């Protein structure tokens, strides 16, 4: 252990929920390799055991479901007992699910669930761990998405949660400024994670869930969005790219307020800055969406 990390500075402790796979897993291991002790949130014991096997002395798994207040309370207590007066060096809010559907037909339970996981859960984590962050002079890093810059059809609920994360980050940056607590937002471009497989399954299941009438209305949009998703997946960055950006936000003397992470982010930012009608026309062309009928 000592020989492996002897050249790495000890950077304190961070809490990272959602570390079973993808960005969360890559971030937990990258931070552990770079001097942090990571409290890695997982929803299953076996996921925590698998992750900690890669960094047994630098990573402590905790059961955290960001939609379950009891697990957050228990994790907060466990972390407080472990770090004591040292407090926390950081909290990385990494949560994201997508259940695409046209707003007209999306069950409200599915709409609410995306907000619950992607927005309300991170807020609950911030409220729970902020006293320890203040004590330790730590930072907050919120993992958002380019879906918080540019909205695609069938992704209204997902983007609502990610636009909401931008608002929460902006508010926190002002509210916590008096304690010099930095708050950064990582606007993530497509990354090779399990979310793509889950998105395909959701899109492929729309024919059944929308019913004959609903699916007939939106069939061309579903096909266009699925094709765009396949292209994004083929060109996606590995999760470590995002993990390195998160590490910069936690360690830099001058952390950015926002990071466009991933090579597809700049093009999306340019498109997002277009006037509304121009942006709509560009997306219709790019995605191959059906044009307005002449009737």
Return the pLDDT at 6. Answer: 38
| Structural domains in the chain, sorted by start | 9-287 (3.40.50.720)
In this predicted structure, the answer to whether residue 277 has a pLDDT above a threshold of 50 is: yes
**Distance from C-alpha of 295 to C-alpha of 292, rounded to nearest angstrom:** 9
In this predicted structure, the answer to whether residue 9 has a pLDDT above a threshold of 90 is: no
pLDDT band at 5 (very low <50, low <70, confident <90, very high): very low
Residues 6+ apart with CB under 8 A from 77: none
Residues 6+ apart with CB under 8 A from 167: none
**Strands ordered across the beta sheet of 90-93:** 59-63, 36-42, 12-16, 90-93, 139-143, 183-188, 258-261
Would you put residue 44 in left (φ > 0), alpha (ψ -120 to 50) or beta?
beta
Written as six digits, the tokens of 46 are: 């076996």
Q: What percent of the chain has pLDDT over 90?
A: 83
Return the pLDDT at 7. Answer: 43
Whether 158 sits among the annotated catalytic residues: the reply is yes
The residue ranking higher by pLDDT, 260 or 232, is 260
Written as six digits, the tokens of 131 are: 């006293």
- How many Cα atoms occupy the beta-carbon half-sphere of 244 within 13 Å? 7
Whether the CA torsion 67, 73, 74, 76 is positive or negative: it is positive
In this predicted structure, the answer to whether residue 162 has a pLDDT above a threshold of 80 is: yes
**Distance from C-alpha of 21 to C-alpha of 10, rounded to nearest angstrom:** 25
Written as six digits, the tokens of 182 are: 């930095």
Alpha helices, DSSP H, located in the chain: 2-5, 22-33, 45-52, 69-83, 108-115, 121-136, 156-175, 195-204, 206-234, 239-251, 265-272, 276-287
Q: Which of 26, 40, 44, 113 is nearest to 78 (CA)?
A: 40
Average pLDDT score over residue span 251-255: 96
Return the pLDDT at 176. Answer: 98
**For residue range 166-186, what is the model confidence (pLDDT) as tens digits?**
999 999 999 999 999 999 999
Alpha-carbon Rg for the chain, nearest whole angstrom, is 20
Catalytically annotated residue among 105, 158, 215, 218:
158
Mean pLDDT of the chain: 92
**For residue range 77-90, what is the model confidence (pLDDT) as tens digits?**
999 999 999 999 99
pLDDT band at 3 (very low <50, low <70, confident <90, very high): very low
Average pLDDT score over residue span 261-283: 93
Q: Contact at 8 Å (CB) between 92 and 15?
A: yes
**Distance from C-alpha of 40 to C-alpha of 221, rounded to nearest angstrom:** 38
């Amino acid at each position: 252990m000592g020989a492996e990390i002897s050249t790495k500075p000890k950077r304190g402790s961070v809490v990272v929920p959602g570390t079973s796979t993808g960005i969360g897993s890559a971030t937990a291991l990258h931070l552990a390799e770079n001097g942090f002790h990571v409290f890695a949130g997982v929803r299953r014991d076996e996921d925590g055991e698998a992750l900690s096997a890669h960094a047994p002395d630098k990573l402590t798994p905790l059961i955290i479901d960001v939609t379950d207040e009891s697990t957050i309370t228990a994790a907060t207590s466990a972390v407080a007992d472990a770090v004591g007066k040292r407090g926390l060096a950081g909290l990385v809010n990494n949560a994201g699910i997508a259940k695409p559907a046209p707003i007209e037909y999306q069950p409200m339970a599915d709409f609410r669930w995306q907000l619950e996981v992607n927005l309300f859960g991170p807020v609950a984590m911030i409220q729970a761990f902020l006293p320890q962050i203040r004590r330790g002079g730590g930072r907050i890093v919120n993992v958002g998405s380019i879906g918080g810059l540019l909205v695609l059809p069938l992704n209204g609920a997902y983007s609502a949660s990610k636009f909401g994360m931008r608002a929460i980050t902006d508010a926190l940056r002002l509210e916590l400024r008096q304690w010099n607590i930095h708050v950064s937002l990582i606007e993530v471009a497509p990354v090779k994670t399990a979310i793509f497989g889950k998105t395909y399954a959701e899109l492929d299941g729309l024919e059944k869930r929308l019913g004959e009438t609903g699916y007939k209305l939106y069939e061309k949009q579903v096909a266009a969005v699925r094709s765009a998703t396949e292209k994004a997946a083929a060109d996606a960055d590995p999760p470590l790219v995002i993990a390195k950006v998160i590490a910069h936000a936690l360690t830099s003397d001058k952390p950015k307020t926002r990071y466009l992470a991933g090579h597809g982010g700049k093009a999306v930012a340019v498109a997002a800055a277009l006037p509304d009608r121009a942006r709509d026309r560009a997306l219709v062309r790019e995605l191959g969406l059906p044009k307005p009928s002449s009737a």
